[in-house]
């Protein structure tokens, strides 16, 4: 392979290698740790999905968790045992009642329905920019939450949906994580991705150069919705139980915070953010459940972990307002030109508030 191609693919290759390495190490660990890693990888897919839209367009979306919800419920309805559905969801349409799909097609269906939903809301919403767009996606989140929470015949409403096949483990989640990261990288290298990134830096100039910002945003939004849907599917089959509550403000906060803490302007940032926050969460969880010090076990009071997590996020943001990765991708480590993508940024296009 010519060195130039290798160099160009390196930011992707390095991330994929890192993820495989993490999974390999985890596969040797006890099952409890393995589940934590699986959970982290699912969050990673959700964050990368959000990054595909928010990172490239510069418009923060609070609506992606609603795509996760849609994906999760679609896959759940397609894979639950018909007998279970007859008990929990007697009002279900006949074709859903009888459905018992294999897991992979059901997961794809979840992603595709989420993407279609993204297309449906994206057509009007992508005309908006900045805060208006963020608020509108937030409105989508709230609407989805209210509708799913009250559409009792299909989602079970406020009741939990039990008995999803628990297939999400390392061997199923890792491939999806790799696909999501590769797709995000491929997208940002395409013409469409580059045009969208141009519009992120200067929307007016991009429009003036003939870029159809609405259309490019829509492409990214649909792709983003697809992978959010997949993350939702996996989350459902990881927990085995679906609650509408799980796909609302807390999840949105966590996913958005992971992206911003990592650095929302690069794929490296998205991946780093998801992994770092997951790691901190896990360490705090360990601390809460007790750490042996000398002969005694010292446990932090329950609930302390959450407070410390919020504090840690705040500290990271204070120290690195651009996020951990600060907009850079991984540079080629061997030989000359070992530089990341140049940091584009608001240093040039400072707003009024600066």
Pattern of binders to another protein over 183-222, x per CB under 8 A?
Answer: ---------------------x------------------
343 binds another protein, rule: CB under 8 A: no
In the set 86, 150, 166, 289, which binds another protein (CB under 8 A)? Answer: 150
C-beta of residue 100 within 8 angstroms of C-beta of residue 77: no
**CB-based burial of residue 184 (10 Å sphere; 0-12 exposed, 13-18 middle, 19+ buried)?**
buried
249 binds another protein, rule: CB under 8 A: yes
> Cα(247)–Cα(257) distance, rounded to whole angstroms?
15
Residue whose C-alpha is closest to residue 287's, from 303, 299, 296? 299
91 binds another protein, rule: CB under 8 A: no
Distance from CA of residue 340 to its chain's centroid? 24
Please report the DSSP string for 304-329 in residue order.
HHHHHHHHHHHHHHHH-TT-SSTTPP
Torsion of CA 127, 133, 135, 141, to 10 degrees: 80
Beta strands in the chain (DSSP E): 291-293, 296-298
C-beta of residue 122 within 8 angstroms of C-beta of residue 130: no
65 binds another protein, rule: CB under 8 A: no
147 binds another protein, rule: CB under 8 A: yes
Pattern of binders to another protein over 111-130, x per CB under 8 A?
Answer: -------------xx-xxxx
Nearer residue to another protein within complex by CB, 104 or 304: 304
> Cα(246)–Cα(155) distance, rounded to whole angstroms?
13
Region from 40-48, 102-110, 133-141, 237-245 binding another protein, contact rule CB under 8 A: 133-141
In the set 21, 131, 166, 338, which binds another protein (CB under 8 A)? Answer: 131
Kindly state the tokens that stand for 328.
């850079």
DSSP character for 168?
-
In the set 100, 307, 334, 338, which binds another protein (CB under 8 A)? Answer: 307
Nearer residue to another protein within complex by CB, 111 or 269: 269
In the set 136, 225, 233, 255, which binds another protein (CB under 8 A)? Answer: 136
CB of 301 to another protein, least distance (A): 7
Pattern of binders to another protein over 17-56, x per CB under 8 A?
Answer: ----------------------------------------
260 binds another protein, rule: CB under 8 A: yes
C-beta of residue 152 within 8 angstroms of C-beta of residue 91: yes
CB of 155 to another protein, least distance (A): 13
Cα 195-183-340 angle, rounded to 5 deg: 65
The residues of the shown chain that bind another protein, judged by CB under 8 A, are: 60, 124-125, 127-132, 135-136, 138-140, 142-143, 146-147, 150, 204, 249, 253, 256-257, 260-261, 264, 301, 303-304, 306-307, 309-311, 313-314, 317-318, 321-323, 346, 350-354
């Amino acid at each position: 392979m010519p060195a130039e191609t290798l160099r160009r693919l390196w930011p992707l290759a390095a991330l994929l290698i890192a993820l495989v390495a993490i999974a390999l190490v985890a596969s040797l660990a006890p099952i409890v740790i393995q589940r934590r890693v699986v959970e982290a990888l699912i969050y990673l897919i959700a964050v990368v999905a959000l990054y595909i839209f928010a990172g490239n367009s510069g418009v923060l979306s609070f609506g992606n968790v609603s795509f996760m919800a849609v994906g999760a419920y679609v896959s759940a309805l397609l894979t639950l045992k018909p007998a279970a559905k007859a008990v929990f969801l007697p009002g279900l349409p006949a074709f859903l009642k009888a459905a018992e799909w294999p897991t992979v097609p059901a997961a794809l269906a979840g992603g595709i329905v989420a993407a279609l939903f993204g297309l449906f809301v994206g057509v009007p919403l992508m005309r908006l920019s900045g805060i208006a767009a963020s608020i509108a996606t937030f409105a989508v989140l709230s609407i989805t939450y209210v509708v799913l929470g009250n559409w009792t015949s299909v989602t079970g409403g406020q009741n939990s949906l039990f008995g999803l096949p628990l297939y999400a483990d390392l061997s199923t989640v890792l491939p999806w994580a790799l696909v999501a990261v590769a797709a995000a990288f491929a997208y940002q290298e395409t013409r469409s991705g580059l045009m969208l990134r141009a519009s992120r830096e200067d929307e007016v100039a991009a429009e003036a150069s003939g870029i159809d910002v609405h259309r490019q945003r829509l492409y990214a939004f649909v792709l983003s919705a697809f992978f959010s849907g997949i993350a939702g599917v996996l989350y459902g089959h990881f927990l085995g139980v679906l609650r509408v509550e799980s796909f609302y403000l807390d999840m949105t906060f966590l996913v958005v915070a992971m992206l911003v803490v990592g650095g929302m302007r690069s794929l490296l940032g998205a991946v780093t953010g998801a992994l770092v926050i997951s790691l901190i969460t896990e360490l705090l969880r360990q601390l809460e459940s007790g750490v042996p010090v000398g002969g005694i076990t010292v446990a932090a009071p329950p609930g302390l972990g959450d407070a410390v997590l919020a504090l840690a996020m705040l500290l990271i943001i204070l120290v690195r307002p651009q996020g951990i990765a600060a907009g850079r991708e991984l540079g080629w480590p061997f030989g000359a030109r070992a530089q990341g993508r140049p940091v584009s940024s608001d240093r040039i296009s400072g707003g009024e508030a600066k």
